[in-house]
Amino acid sequence: MEILPNKGKNLIIEVGGKKFARYPVKTKLITPDDKDIGVLVEEFAGKYVKPGDIVFISEKVVAVTQGRSYPIKEIKAGWLANFLSQLVTKTPIGIGLGSPETMQLAIEEVGVLRILLATFIGAIGKIFRIKGLFYIVSGHRARSIDGAVPYAIPPYNTHVSKGPLNANEVAKNVSLKLGVKIAIVDANDFGVNILGFSGSTGSQIINGRPLFEMTGKLIAKIIKDNPLGQSDEQTPIGIIRELTDNTDGI
């Protein structure tokens, strides 16, 4: 079966003089009833995976399987969340914590004191024209919160979600099922963060060459253009494969 790129994306990218394929894997609509992301990855991507590949998974679907995606109408934002969300600078990346609902989730995730400290430091940063201090202080658990966006596949266009829990552990568990490296990624058309990584699966030799050691930094470069897309593609799983003269496609 041929895997085609998502609209506006390319299958192949060159990084550091090497070529890599990024194969998007289409799945069913993943819901909170799907409790095990490893089972889903094995079902939909397992038949395509080869030794030496790395599978990357959208952090949002991991969060969904952990019950950490919520209909926006069910989130009761308190007065503090309503107030603080008005102070957040809106960016082209998305609403971030600029809605009462996402700010409420951030307060639940990292606590009132840390959010207040982040707000204070962020305000000082604005005075000196230093951007991003709020998110640096509030931490990755606050940064990983996703707001409702109209271009997401229904019903998630009306959901907000927290970041996945124990992303490294999730990656390692999925890696044990598939026998390849796994990364949990937070990717959009503006940037990539690696939230979890299974690490090395061993010193295999592929086509007479040592299995290249993937790092979070390298993975981020390979998927910097977000080949999974961020709309209704329904491809929350991807496969990275280094291309050599002896490498076959999917």
Q: State pLDDT tens for residues 90-113.
A: 665 567 899 999 999 999 999 999
Going from the N-terminus, what domains does the chain have, and what CATH number goes with each?
12-68+163-243 (3.30.1330.100), 71-161 (no CATH)
Q: Which residues make beta-bridge pairs with 196?
A: 184
One-letter amino acid of 33: D
| Chain-centroid distance, C-alpha 161 | 12
Helix (H/G/I), strand (E/B), else coil: 149: coil
Query: What pLDDT, on the 0 to 100 scale, is given for residue 78?
Result: 97
Q: 232 vs 13, which has greater pLDDT?
A: 13
**Bridge partners (DSSP) listed for residue 20:** 13, 242
Give me the count of residues in the chain.
250
According to DSSP, residue 91 is labeled: B
Q: What is the DSSP letter of 167?
A: H
pLDDT at residue 248, rounded to an integer: 66
pTM of the model: 0.88
Q: What are phi and psi of 91, to 5 degrees?
A: -125, 165
**69, β-bridge pairs:** 161
Please check the confidence at residue 89 and state whether its pLDDT lies above 80: no
Q: What angle do CA 222, 226, 227 make, to 5 degrees?
A: 85
pLDDT mean across residues, the chain: 89
Q: In b/e form, how buried is each residue of 122-160, taking b as 16+ CB within 10 angstroms?
A: beebeeeeeeebbbbbbeebbbbbbbbbeebeeebeebb
SS3 state of residue 205:
strand
Tell me the pLDDT tens digit for each residue of 13-66. Answer: 999 999 999 999 999 999 999 999 999 999 999 999 999 999 999 999 999 999
Residue 167 token pair: 């992303």
Cα–Cα nearest to 143, from 182, 177, 114, 178 = 114
Check: CB of residue 196 under 8 Å from CB of residue 183.
yes
Tell me the pairing of strands 69-71 and 159-161. antiparallel
